[in-house]
Amino acid sequence: MNWEVIIKWLPRLAQGATLTLELVAIAVIAGLILAIPLGIARSSRHWYVRAVPFSYIFFFRGTPLLVQLFLVYYGLAQFDAVRSSALWPYLRDPFWCTVLTMTLHTAAYIAEILRGALQAIPRGEIEAARALGMSKAKALFYIMLPRAARIGLPAYSNEVILMLKASALASTVTLLELTGMARTIIARTYLPVEIFFAAGLFYLLISFLLVNGFKLLERWLRVDACQGR
Amino acid sequence: MNIDLYGFGPALAAGTLMTVKLALCALALGLVLGLLGALAKTSPYKPLQWLGGFYSTLVRGVPELLWVLLIYFGTVSLMNRLGEALNMPGLELNAFAAGVIALGLCFGAYATEVFRGAILAIPKGHREAGLALGLSKGRIFSKLILPQMWRIALPGLGNLFMILMKDTALVSVIGLEEIMRHSQIAVTVSKQPFTFYMVAAFIYLGLTIIAMTGMHFMEKRAARGFARANQ
């Protein structure tokens, strides 16, 4: 193992890691926002409300992220309408394509988590809210969603870690995030073991920090106090 | 959309076959690794526990793509040295073998946790009953624990297999000619990226549906004789 090379290239890898963090942060936050309406619609009692989120979730969970990424980055250019639209400067850019794909992808998974959480809320609590005279919307916003957030948080933290690992795919559309940076450095140094090892350590470190951050968040939201009844 | 796919239909079919082969081989390797990992994690010996924990934590913390790249590009010098030692110059790991090892490794790390949960879910009394009957440790595991683990672990393993099947797309990065790689080749010729990546997406969706159906029947068979509490 050639440690000097690792130390020499650490700053560049750290630079790649910041891009990785940027991608993951935008994707999981935007994905969460998109997932809230999707998840609520997915747990609806009416089949025509459920149908659209169901097919969305089925497509994004049933196909590999790599295919979705290529569909957005390479595929959209097939249509002249896209190329002449005002969005083209963004859809041409690998960064925005990756962010868009990761957001759409993770939103499907988060919506499914949210559906599970909404259905896990004890019926009595929703009935209690309605009995107090809350409207359906009020019960949803003040009782069900805060409750579902606590039930779904552990699964959401898993999803964030999965997205951290999925962000490595961005290297296939020329983005220089952690894996992309490692591949670029290897093309120069011909030392795959050392550089991939260092990149792996970065991923381990980031996921360790994320796991502990979510533990703190769970304590702050008092997740354990809401469960085990 | 053109039905004959510009003559790339047979190539995509061959790619689909390769994807299925890759997924099944990685599944076989991963099941073995997962079982060994779970046995190590639940063993009474500290070093073995530590080894199992190290394996599942390390592999699960690093992206699958990085494992694929690391195993394919990282073993070149190792295989060269091995080739010299065995007097077989030019020995190398091909993309298929590297893909099987990388995906099997990742599947095994997650399967370790699934199998561990299954082992812990089997009542202690069953093991003690085996001991009271005078069965050896190995027989208790193979005749008592393992058959019961199967039913408990099956849903978790099914989920992992769906993930594994989608992860096979990553092996196209090192040039294995599976669905994604064939689609890329078709795109360079036909200049129709959206069409071909959409076809690839639908092939993966089809494979997922087949795997889901298969899992449904296997779970039904494994659960025969067990009444569901909530129905």
* Helices and strands, number each (H, E), in chain B: 10, 0
Residue matched to tokens 């020499």: A8
Per CB-CB distance under 8 Å, the chain A contacts of B191 are 78
**In the predicted structure, residue A16 carries a pLDDT above the cut 70:** yes
Residue matched to tokens 């949210």: A114
Per-residue pLDDT, averaged over A217-224, amounts to 85
Closest-CA residue to B69 (of B100, B102, B92, B93): B102
CB contact at 8 A, B41 and B207 = no
Distance in angstroms (rounded) separating the CA atoms of residues A29 and A35: 10
CB contact at 8 A, B25 and B108 = no
Distance in angstroms (rounded) separating the CA atoms of residues B32 and A10: 36
The chain A residue lying nearest B174, using CA atoms, is A172
- Number of independent structural domains in chain B: 1
The token pair that represents A47 in the structure block = 């089949």
In a domain, B199, yes or no: no
Closest partner CB to B205 (pick from A62, A76, A199): A62
Q: What angle do CA B213, B225, B156 make, to 5 degrees?
A: 45
User: Which CATH fold topology does A3-222 show?
Assistant: MetI-like fold (1.10.3720)
**In the predicted structure, residue A227 carries a pLDDT above the cut 70:** no
Percent of chain B with pLDDT over 70: 96
pLDDT in tens, A168-196: 999 999 999 999 999 999 999 888 989 99
Q: Measure Cα distances from B120 to B55, B161, B183, B201, B228 in Å.
A: 19, 22, 44, 38, 20
Dihedral (Cα; A211, A212, A216, A218), 10-degree rounding: 20
pLDDT in tens, B114-145: 999 999 999 989 999 999 999 998 999 999 99
Upper half-sphere CA count for residue A128 (Cβ side, 13 Å):
8
Per-residue pLDDT, averaged over A100-129, amounts to 93
Cβ-based burial of A88 (10 A; exposed 0-12, middle 13-18, buried ≥19): middle
In a domain, B229, yes or no: no
**In the predicted structure, residue A120 carries a pLDDT above the cut 70:** yes
Question: Predicted ipTM?
Answer: 0.88
Per CB-CB distance under 8 Å, the chain A contacts of B113 are none
The pTM of this model reads 0.89
Interface size between A and B, measured as CB pairs under 8 A: 106
The amino acid at residue A91 is L
In a domain, B184, yes or no: no
* Domain parsing of chain A, residue ranges: 3-222
* Domain of B22, in residue numbers: 15-176+213-222
Question: Is B73 in Cβ contact with A186 (below 8 Å)?
Answer: yes
In a domain, B8, yes or no: no
- In the structure, what pLDDT confidence band is assigned to residue B231 with cuts at 50, 70 and 90? very low
Distance in angstroms (rounded) separating the CA atoms of residues A225 and A122: 15
| Domain containing residue B29: CATH number | 1.10.3720.10
